[in-house]
Structure 1
Amino acid sequence: MTVKSTIEEKLTTAFEPESLAVIDESHLHAGHHHADSSHHEAFDGSGETHFRVRIVSARFAGESRIARQRAINKLLADELNSGVHALAIEARAPGEPGRR
């Protein structure tokens, strides 16, 4: 199972989203340096290390942006501790304005 599909499955199970997009943005970070890489080598853009999550779920109604992000980060702790370097989160409740 890919990291992306694991993230999708966990988010779907936990939040029953109205809509969900998990976007692998790893290729956008080629050439960047990661502090935990050996000899501070530049990242080549391969692998599944950088993601953007766009999720709309009724479970977020009444929750602050910080509470939503904490809940998602907690749910995906294993992935964040084993190779995912970046996770951009756009979490909304139904009816809230989204990206412009």
Structure 2
Amino acid sequence: MTLTEEIRSRLSVLEPTALEIRDDSALHRGHAGSNGGGHFFVTIASAQFSGKSQVMRHRQVYAILGDLIPQKIHALSIQAIAADEPPVVTID
């Protein structure tokens, strides 16, 4: 199982209505402070986020993936959306 697959599998407990995992590791290889772990950007929509602040949503995701940090995941960006909210548009 790849790390992206593991992240997807673990986040399935949040019953996401949408889930995108982008592996940006190749863009960050060899930078200062990198211990070899990957860089990931996760966009997740879930009814379980309804009525919760962004901080609480991020805490839910970190609680699920926390043991992968920092060895397997060096950096994690999270866009957490309640299923009943409109998606946030990001510009790459």
Query: CA-atom RMSD, angstroms?
Result: 1.7
Q: Give the number of the structure whose alpha-carbon radius of gyration is greater.
A: 1
- Aligned partner (choices 54, 64, 74) of residue 63 of structure 2: 74
Specify the code of the residue in structure 1 equivalent to 2:5: S
What does residue 31 of structure 2 align with? Answer: 32
- Return structure 1 stretches of 4+ with deviation > 3 angstroms: none
Give, in whole Å, the separation in 2 of the partners of 1:65 and 1:11: 16
Trace 1:4-19 onto structure 2 (pairs within 5 A). Answer: 4-12=4-12, 14-19=13-18
Q: Aligned to 2:53, which of 64, 70, 92?
A: 64
Deviation at 1:19, TM superposition (A): 0.6
Is 1:96 the counterpart of 2:85 in the alignment? yes
Q: Flag structure 2 segments of 5+ consecutive residues without an equivalent.
A: none
What TM-score results when the alignment is normalised by the length of structure 2? 0.86
User: Higher RCO, 1 or 2 (CA under 8 Å, sep at least 6)?
Assistant: 2
Q: Normalized per residue, which structure has more strand? A: 2
TM normalised by structure 1 equals 0.80
Aligned residue-pair number: 89
